[in-house]
Amino acid sequence: MEFKQSGHLDPALTDPATRTLRTEQLTGRWLNTNPDTQGIAECVIKQDGELFSIDIAGAGPDGPIRWPTCRSTPLANLEEEAGQRVFALSATFEFEFMTAETYIRVNKGVLVIVLFASFRDGSKRSDYVNREFFYRPQPER
Amino acid sequence: MEFAQLCDRVEIDNVSEPLDVSSLAGVWINSNPDTNGIARLEFSDVDGKLSVRVHAIDPDGLIDWGRAPAKLFAASPKSRTTAGFTCTYDFGFAEIRLQAMIMKGLIVLAQFHKFKDNSNRMEFFVREYFAVVHDRY
């Protein structure tokens, strides 16, 4: 078996149990912990078989800006958080003027989205990286 | 000007200078001495473009992945200081995407490993921390 680091030989990568990790901790509706965010306001993650769909709304001047839905396969997150075996998602959103490459994971019940934005519209804006945190809104009683 | 979130809506005056890459200069070592993944990152300027050289840990010691061009990111659309990078290594049997951001003087490196062989290994994600090597104290 080919490898480029010892981690590629981790038996967990071929362990069927790894593929059946619980994914509920990722799915659902998530709101930015910062109500005044200038970035991502909301993220909704749904599971459909082995795929996840990710819907993001950016903060806009007149309300949320809906991003195109992105579909992604989960990645096992084997080593982080003292052996917690969880999933992470990698999702790329394509706009005419920009590509937004993200990775999404849950840490202690908080959803973390790290976004790498690349502009291609000649606006001279710098490509940039940003990280934001999200919580699950409590269901209304 | 198009934008997908308010922070993208900024007007930029004439910009001629490249991103300041001094925040990445040098050799960066994994904070975990027992890592079984990437051990060291080294940045260098090649023909005016920044490249990263990765050394990882394998059962026999360090393994050199070689150099890959780094795509640079600032901290905001207006900033001209490098705050992160991405790059990709394609080894044939596996493709490894690196996404990094600098936080509190550390590189936080997210690694996405996708296998393209028939080994039935699951794609996986690792996030590790790297500190720059210095000789100040």
Q: Would you call A19 an interface residue with chain B, using a CB distance cutoff of 8 Å?
A: yes
In a domain, B29, yes or no: yes
Q: What is the block-wise mean pLDDT of chain B (137 residues), using blocks of 10 residues?
A: 93 81 94 95 88 95 96 95 97 97 96 94 93 89
Task: Say yes or no for a CB contact (<8 Å) between A58 and B6.
Answer: yes
In a domain, A4, yes or no: no
In a domain, B39, yes or no: yes
Tokens at B57, concatenated: 């840990």
In a domain, B12, yes or no: no
pLDDT score at A43: 98
In a domain, B119, yes or no: yes
- Complex ipTM: 0.93
CATH of the domain at B90: 2.40.128
pLDDT score at A19: 74
Candidates A5, A14, A74; nearest CB to B63: A5
A2-13 pLDDT, tens per residue? 999 999 998 888
In a domain, B81, yes or no: yes
A70-102 pLDDT, tens per residue? 999 888 887 655 455 678 899 999 999 999 999
> Rounded to two decimals, what is the model's pTM?
0.93
Tokens at B9, concatenated: 């809506």
CB A117 within 8 A of CB A98: yes
Report DSSP letters for B59-107, one per residue: TTEEEEEEEEEPEEEESSTT--BEEEEEEEEE-SSEEEEEEEEEETTEE
B99 is in which domain, residue-wise? 18-132
Residue A69 — pLDDT band, cuts 50, 70, 90? very high
Question: Which of B1, B8, B50, B65 to probe by mutation at the A interface, max A CB count within 10 Å?
Answer: B8
In a domain, A11, yes or no: no
Candidates B36, B119, B127; nearest CB to A80: B127
pLDDT score at A81: 53
Here the contacts of A91-98 (C-beta below 8 Å, separation 24 or greater) are A91/A54, A93/A56, A93/A67, A93/A68, A93/B4, A94/A68, A95/A67, A95/A68, A95/B2, A95/B4, A96/A121, A96/B2, A97/A121, A97/A123, A97/B2, A98/B2, A98/B4, A98/B8
| Domains identified in chain B, total number | 1
Average pLDDT, chain A: 90
In a domain, A92, yes or no: yes
| Domains identified in chain A, total number | 1
A43 is in which domain, residue-wise? 23-135
CATH of the domain at A127: 2.40.128
A19-37 pLDDT, tens per residue? 776 778 899 999 999 999 9
In a domain, B54, yes or no: yes
CB B130 within 8 A of CB B29: yes
pLDDT score at A83: 53
